[in-house]
Structure 1
Amino acid sequence: MPEGDTAWLTARRLHQALAGRAVTIFDLRVPELATSDLKGETVTQVLARGKHLLTRFGNDLTLHSHLRMDGSWYLSRTGGPRPRRYPEHMIRARVGNEEWTATGYRVHDLRIVTRSGEATLVGHLGPDLLGPDWDPEQAVTNLLAAPDETIGEALLDQRNLAGVGNMYKCEVLFVEHVHPWTPTGKVRDLTSLVNAAQRLLRVNRDHPEQSTTGMLGRGREHWVYERSGAPCLRCRTPIQRADQGKSPRARGTYWCPTCQPAAR
């Protein structure tokens, strides 16, 4: 599931393949952008902002995309076989040059804006955990603006800090011994918590595998995430799961009742 580290790695690989080269392939398969054509322009930069991807061109335009729950970009050699990750009808975008072609499967929120217009799409985001603007003090201030909200829901609110998804939410709360339903204002050390989140994303950003335990063995990559009923890797207590948040945004949340006791 794409989270901030996945978006960061995707942006880096797209930048390496596309930046500094003239576009020879530009195909957006959404009705409102179907006639858009940036062939001949040069890609200057591809960067991630939280879970958003911004592909900048030399003519001051930016192509925005979002991975959401199921989006992905794949690279292939131009003129060679296309990646067969998903059926053809799932392709939403193709951007390429004479050497590389980036194919976006099920990517969301495709927009073309001017550079100054990027703020309308990502200006609401809090400090980016993997960006140059990372500011733990601001992240804590943002979280404390709603002290009665559960910390599990607050971490997923990208307006507080950008990049944490459901998996990292569960894992960082376990690492910090915080029960997911603790009111944000009652968390003992929010600074430690947001810094732990940043560390977890940083150590995973350079490779597609996501491990918060330091292990890659099947079923041992994560402390609690998607391990409902399995024994805690620390104390052997069965991991619990429950939906958190209001429908339709409720997310499956995992925690160890011994390592993460509920606040009194």
Structure 2
Amino acid sequence: MPEGDTVLQTAERLHHALAGRVLTRSDLRVPRFATADLTGRTVLDVSARGKHLLTRIEGGLTLHSHLRMDGAWRIYAPGERWRGGPGHQIRAVLGNAAHTAVGYRLPVLELLRTRDEGNAVGHLGPDLLGPDWDPDTALRNLLADPARPLGEALLDQRNLAGIGNIYKAELCFLARATPWLPIGDLPARTATLLVSTARQLLEANRDRPVRTTTAAARPRTATGRAPRPARPSENLWVYGRTHRPCLRCGTPIREAEQDNRPAYWCPRCQTGPTP
């Protein structure tokens, strides 16, 4: 499932391509909204709310979409070949004179009244990259169920919105706790730092083409020069690095399933229960 920074980047690309322009093409390929015609309306803006995308359209309408595991929006110039997947995977087409946005494999696509957006996103906790970010509320939400495993609590978008499986793994590593540690067992200071670190990581990566969580930890050289760029295998502490040496201690990274998703951890750097 995409992380909040990826969804924000998608929203910004869609906003650049669509906002302020009149739709000359509209095709929603889901049965419930197949007859909806948005042509002639102006797209007002495209925003991200956690992992949700909200395309607001003239006339008080919002097209709500969610990428989940496989969804994607692609933007094409006039005459450019669509390469996002076979035609039967297309769920939405929004076009104007300059660009065409095509939504592939979108598991959630619905047309709402803008005033009813809360029905789609009102359950979300504070958005790590949004104007509603509130670290105190996020912390209270996380600690509301002290027995819940840390990894599960971080992924629950009702607690705080924007963390996916990558940031879950990286945040658990930085907290030096396994994803199965009951979140109530974290020291109070560590829990507070966990929330602020989540915000810092997503902010640092919101404009990066390649996500990294390790850059800030690489020291400058003895001459004061900036550290060398990370190799691709060093961009993340533990995610996707099964059997590779931990970048901190050299111990091979472990992998196991948690809540139907892969979880990664260093058995030396992280303490707590494991499968």
Amino acid across the alignment from 1:259: C
Match of 2:99 in 1: 100
Tell me the alpha carbon deviations over residues 189-227 of structure 1, each in whole angstroms, 9 at most, x when there is no partner: 211101111111111111332111235523222110011
TM-score (norm 1): 0.95
Match of 2:222 in 1: none
Match of 1:220 in 2: 234
Do residues 254 (structure 1) and 254 (structure 2) align? no
Do residues 241 (structure 1) and 240 (structure 2) align? no
Aligned residues: 258
Amino acid across the alignment from 2:155: L
Once residues 199 and 90 of structure 1 are traced to their aligned partners in structure 2, the CA distance between those partners, rounded to angstroms, is 35
Once residues 80 and 8 of structure 2 are traced to their aligned partners in structure 1, the CA distance between those partners, rounded to angstroms, is 26
Do residues 114 (structure 1) and 128 (structure 2) align? no
Once residues 163 and 218 of structure 1 are traced to their aligned partners in structure 2, the CA distance between those partners, rounded to angstroms, is 23
Tell me the alpha carbon deviations over residues 102-128 of structure 1, each in whole angstroms, 9 at most, x when there is no partner: 111111210111111100000000000
Once residues 107 and 194 of structure 2 are traced to their aligned partners in structure 1, the CA distance between those partners, rounded to angstroms, is 30
| RMSD over equivalenced CA pairs, Å | 1.2
3-state secondary structure, aligned to 1:82: coil
TM-score (norm 2): 0.91
Once residues 71 and 212 of structure 1 are traced to their aligned partners in structure 2, the CA distance between those partners, rounded to angstroms, is 24
Amino acid across the alignment from 1:258: R
Once residues 43 and 203 of structure 2 are traced to their aligned partners in structure 1, the CA distance between those partners, rounded to angstroms, is 26
Do residues 205 (structure 1) and 211 (structure 2) align? no
1:101-180 → structure 2 map (5 Å cutoff): 101-180=100-179
Match of 1:30 in 2: 30
Amino acid across the alignment from 1:227: R
Tell me the alpha carbon deviations over residues 40-89 of structure 1, each in whole angstroms, 9 at most, x when there is no partner: 00010100000000000110000000010111111111x31233132222
Amino acid across the alignment from 2:209: P
Over the matched positions of the two proteins, sequence identity in percent amounts to: 56
Q: Which deviates more, 171-180 or 150-159?
A: 171-180
3-state secondary structure, aligned to 1:73: strand
Amino acid across the alignment from 2:194: L
Match of 2:224 in 1: none
Cα drift, residue 176 of structure 1 = 2.1
Contact 1:9 1:207 in 2 (8 A): no
Once residues 87 and 7 of structure 1 are traced to their aligned partners in structure 2, the CA distance between those partners, rounded to angstroms, is 22
Match of 2:85 in 1: 86
Once residues 217 and 85 of structure 1 are traced to their aligned partners in structure 2, the CA distance between those partners, rounded to angstroms, is 28
Amino acid across the alignment from 1:196: T
Amino acid across the alignment from 2:204: V
3-state secondary structure, aligned to 2:130: coil
Amino acid across the alignment from 1:142: N
Do residues 229 (structure 1) and 243 (structure 2) align? yes
> After the TM superposition, which parts of structure 1 deviate over 2 Å for at least 4 consecutive aligned residues?
214-218
Contact 1:151 1:181 in 2 (8 A): yes
Contact 1:6 1:208 in 2 (8 A): no
Amino acid across the alignment from 1:48: A
Once residues 240 and 32 of structure 1 are traced to their aligned partners in structure 2, the CA distance between those partners, rounded to angstroms, is 44
3-state secondary structure, aligned to 2:232: coil
3-state secondary structure, aligned to 1:6: helix
Once residues 265 and 13 of structure 2 are traced to their aligned partners in structure 1, the CA distance between those partners, rounded to angstroms, is 33
Match of 1:192 in 2: 193
**Structure 2: unaligned runs, 5 residues or longer:** 216-228
Match of 2:182 in 1: 183
Once residues 107 and 165 of structure 2 are traced to their aligned partners in structure 1, the CA distance between those partners, rounded to angstroms, is 18
3-state secondary structure, aligned to 2:38: coil
Amino acid across the alignment from 2:2: P
Contact 1:52 1:65 in 2 (8 A): yes
Once residues 210 and 25 of structure 1 are traced to their aligned partners in structure 2, the CA distance between those partners, rounded to angstroms, is 34
